[in-house]
A and B are shown apart, each in its own frame.
Chain A
Amino acid sequence: DGGITQSPKYLFRKEGQNVTLSCEQNLNHDAMYWYRQDPGQGLRLIYYSQIVNDFQKGDIAEGYSVSREKKESFPLTVTSAQKNPTAFYLCASSILGRNTEAFFGQGTRLTVV
């Protein structure tokens, strides 16, 4: 079955450590996105990528980094520079250049301990 997979589902991190969240899709989508969601809030865009080896900052990119070395993979690194990293992180993908639906993963809940 085609889809988008995020791992792990739950992640705990000590303060001062970097951590990488995985996002993989087998839908052959060009565009991929990372969002952050805080309790009771909507989704905020962190980074997005439309093509391999290229990505753009979203609204809240500070303290995060991404890479897009393969079409199917778009990992997100939460660095120690991110002041409040505890949140629910969502990855999505879509066809580029056509106005169709975006597919979301089930999310990774990151907690800083």
Chain B
Amino acid sequence: EDQVTQSPEALRLQEGESSSLNCSYTVSGLRGLFWYRQDPGKGPEFLFTLYSAGEEKEKERLKATLTKKESFLHITAPKPEDSATYLCAVQAVAAGNKLTFGGGTRVLVKP
């Protein structure tokens, strides 16, 4: 069964304090790994797709990387508006259109 584990569960940062979120996955044949951002009371919002080990994607202060067993979401010099829950999801080759999500990391950036 496909599994996604995110750590830490919660992260408190000072504005400007860079950090990384981890997403470990177990899947029989990875088709894609996805990062989403979810604000309180809202639906998840797509950030990145990574397809193969070594791939990196960047968007503003966020950078996602992928290895064969895990993905990292690096937040560089975060601002309070980066506060959100970050969700990681995998799509297995055998799973069709089913995405398996991790439990998320709640990030709070204090000014």
Q: Do A and B originate from a single complex?
A: no
